[in-house]
Amino acid sequence: GIQVEQSPPDLILQEGANSTLRCNFSDSVNNLQWFHQNPWGQLINLFYIPSGTKQNGRLSATTVATERYSLLYISSSQTTDSGVYFCAVNRGGSNYKLTFGKGTLLTVNP
Amino acid sequence: DGGITQSPKYLFRKEGQNVTLSCEQNLNHDAMYWYRQDPGQGLRLIYYSQIVNDFQKGDIAEGYSVSREKKESFPLTVTSAQKNPTAFYLCASSTGIVNTEAFFGQGTRLTVV
């Protein structure tokens, strides 16, 4: 099956710093999503981005499908950004299931 | 409000007992999924259903069972055959057609005591 690798596994920042999270995947994909898992465990949808660039406030994401990677940018980080960020992909066609990476644990200190 | 509702939020089970986790969605999505998350790990797919009365095994289906009798409901039963059932369980749904963006419920934390 498709492999998804996220880096770095852990990241510690001071409030106000910027960061870039990376997601590499081993095959072509029809769907790529970024999620933030909050302290209560819920997965919050950040971006649905199989290709191209999107921005939402301080967050933006870019997926280069031909090179099989996606980047999540967090600018001016806040303590509330802390948590685990997951990348998940889907190959499309008749199979809709998502395959997840192991996540990046982000800690933003005040 | 449209969304995915999982219940209960916390569940305790004695060894040897079966337990059923509920997942309901009112998003009119065709596809539904169950994932398991262990501490410090990503999510692994247990079962998924792309249409009513049909479902497929995911990567870790052993010891679990599901049903899909209604479009909006996809309950997961953790059976006594599941050797290590203590985990966080997440249910998701997607349209399953062109736009396959998935949305998740709030999860059920199952502890075997």
A interface mutation test: which of B43, B47, B66, B110 has the most A CBs within 10 A? B43
Q: Tell me the nearest-neighbour CA distance from B70 into chain A, angstroms.
A: 19
CA dihedral in degrees (A52, A62, A77, A108; nearest 10)? 140
List chain A residues with CB under 8 Å of B43.
86, 88, 98, 100
Q: What is the band of A91 on the pLDDT scale with cuts at 50, 70, 90? A: confident
List chain B residues with CB under 8 Å of A93.
none
B48:A102 CB<8 A:
no
Q: What is the pLDDT of residues B55-111, one digit of tens each?
A: 999 999 999 999 999 999 999 999 988 889 999 999 999 987 656 789 999 999 999
pLDDT value, residue B97? 60
**Does residue A23 have a pLDDT over 90?**
yes
pLDDT value, residue B66? 98
Q: What is the pLDDT of residues B19-65, one digit of tens each?
A: 999 999 999 999 999 999 998 888 999 999 989 999 999 999 999 99
List chain B residues with CB under 8 Å of A94.
50
For B10-14, what is the mean pLDDT? Answer: 93
pLDDT value, residue A94? 67
Q: How far apart are CA A102 and CA A7, in angstroms?
A: 9
- The beta strand positions in chain A, using DSSP E, are 4-7, 10-14, 19-25, 31-37, 43-48, 52-56, 59-64, 69-74, 83-90, 99-100, 104-109
